[in-house]
Structure 1
Amino acid sequence: MNLHDLQTFEAVAALGSFTKAAETMHTVQSNVTARIKSLEDEFKVTLFTRTSRRVELTTAGETLIKYCRHIGQTIEEAKRELSETSQVSGIIRIGTMETSLSMKLPGVINRFTDHYPDVEIEVKSAFTGVLTNDVLNYKLDLAFVAAPIASPELQEKVIKKDKLVIITASEHTSLKDYLKKQPVKIIVFDQGCSFRARLESWLNAKGVVSYRRTVMNSWEGIISFVEGGMGMTIVPEDLLLQHYAKRKIKVHEINKELGTLTTVLVYRKDLPQSRAMKAFIEMYA
């Protein structure tokens, strides 16, 4: 086994095809097949299931691809450490939730790139579960996610605590009265959103198990629907004050347990940190 074998394996996994992997690697398909067979013989496992349309990773293949990404990142970092002196460069892949933090992140990145112009930043916005899995699977270097994160493989740094409030259209002055309406209507992000989970937990605690959801994909859409009387939602108070203070909505306080969202910065414990990643963590956290 050598590094080229692993790179070939990664290409087949990414493209789902021996033929396409051969084209990408500038070789012939028989060479790709031989390299994959060599890996399977060495590890004594089957790495791919083959169908008429594409090839897919087996469970063993999923395990090996994680190690390949780990090895690849470690080698690239070693190259940078050996070839540079004090220069901070490279790529940082960052994940963030759709919160007030994501609205502040462009300013943070702007300040960071002013200090470190040779660093390239890639940003992905998604829900906590997706971002956490991406960090665990080496697809992201770090991510801003909602605590708690139950993973011994990840290091966590508390970034901020958001106070959450429930909002309704301005004419609804009492949540108690609002919950008497049938059906109760809520405006939320898709399944997997931390705010949606908090709101549904709050409703369940109030004995409301049946409600009608409208799913949106942006805070602007959610706020507009709430303002128009289409339903209620839960939102960081800081987000309201910064961006939606003049909207015709009513803010309702909730208990501290469900009304506090802790944002943490997570990254893998086992990966060596690049100079760029260390600099970003120090600047932000």
Structure 2
Amino acid sequence: MILMDTRQLKAFVTVASTRSFTKAAEILDYAQSSITGQVGSLENELGIKLFERLGRQVVLTQKGQRFIKYAEKIINLSYDAKEAVSDLLNPSGTMIIASPETLAAVRLPPLIHHFHNHYLNVELIVKKCHPKEITSLLRNNQIDVAFFLGREMNFPDIVSEILLFEQMTLVSSPHHPITGKIPVTIQDIQGMTLILCEEGCGYRDAFEKVLYKAGVQPGTVLEFDSIEAIKKCVIQQLGITLLPRMAVEGELNRNELTDLQLQGADFDMNTQIVYHKDKWISPALSAFLKHSREILANRVS
């Protein structure tokens, strides 16, 4: 008889989305040993191996990939069942939130902290995802709400609300030769090695369109799925990159990166909160939308 509970499933889904037991423990506010134990218990009950380790990351096995969609459905059903009988004045239940890496690391922690202090009975699961996955996740009801960084999302079945403008910054190592040209123009990027996020990222797409329109051909393009990896490569003088300023503020303050003060290009990037137009706005989701506006749009501390 399978005795899996939602804690085990939430631990499993969070490890799968972060590819890290350590990060999952931080998000769920558990000791890492607890997360490891919950996933191990789930594997024992199912009689299968859900993860395998590849270097410092953990990845889903084939059976883990097959099981995760059922785990997410069970979590969502559990949330819906709790909400159906909850007190409207005291929101409770579980919400699954999708977010790209940058927003999850920089923008969401103060929001989640503030929300949790007000609604102790609402559990939040943050699922890191690629921007191009968001609409599919919303349409399949695999998540409740998502954060998105880019130009305004415009789909008839998706509600998109802009919370704040995000400044984009072209950066390099302080020792990179291009720093001698500050402020830099688009033409100065000709032949330069670029270190960029994956294709489909909103600000990468906007950057490449600006380069194409200006007739500028960069040299090598190195692609990473990690903001931290991109920054470390730029610090090591492997190339230059365009990132949200919020993601490089610390490195700029420590003089590990230099703002190239790019001239002649505007990137209209915004942090947005999005959800499906047919999504039931539960008391918990209503409260979360309200706090998102207060904390992110108004920068309430």
Which TM bucket (shorter chain)? 0.5 to 0.7
1:250 is aligned to 2:245: no
1:160 is aligned to 2:164: yes
Pairing partner for 1:179 from 189, 192, 195 = 189
> Structure 1: which amino acid aligns with 2:189?
L
Tell me the TM-score normalised to structure 2 length. 0.63
1:88 is aligned to 2:88: no
Asked if structure 1 preserves the Cα contact closer than 8 Å seen for 2:163 and 2:272, the reply is yes
Classify 1:101/1:245 alpha carbon distance in 2 versus 1 (closer, same or farther; 3 Å): farther
1:230 is aligned to 2:230: no
Pairing partner for 1:106 from 105, 109, 112 = 109
The count of corresponding residues between Structure 1 and Structure 2 is: 217
| Distance across 1 between alignment mates of 2:86 and 2:103 | 39
Asked if structure 2 preserves the Cα contact closer than 8 Å seen for 1:134 and 1:140, the reply is yes
Unaligned stretches of 5+ residues in structure 2:
1-45, 47-68, 294-301
Identity over the aligned pairs, expressed in percent?
23
| Distance across 1 between alignment mates of 2:265 and 2:104 | 20
> Structure 1: which amino acid aligns with 2:286?
K
| Distance across 2 between alignment mates of 1:257 and 1:142 | 31
> Structure 2: which amino acid aligns with 1:237?
R
Asked if structure 1 preserves the Cα contact closer than 8 Å seen for 2:194 and 2:239, the reply is yes
Residue equivalent to 2:208: 200
Asked if structure 2 preserves the Cα contact closer than 8 Å seen for 1:95 and 1:131, the reply is yes
Instruction: Please report the RMSD computed on the Cα atoms of aligned residues, expressed in angstroms.
Output: 3.0
Classify 1:198/1:84 alpha carbon distance in 2 versus 1 (closer, same or farther; 3 Å): same
Partner SS, residue 229 of structure 1: coil
> Structure 1: which amino acid aligns with 2:119?
Y
Tell me the TM-score normalised to structure 1 length. 0.66
Residue equivalent to 1:38: none
Partner SS, residue 211 of structure 1: coil
Residue equivalent to 2:283: 275
| Distance across 2 between alignment mates of 1:106 and 1:215 | 27
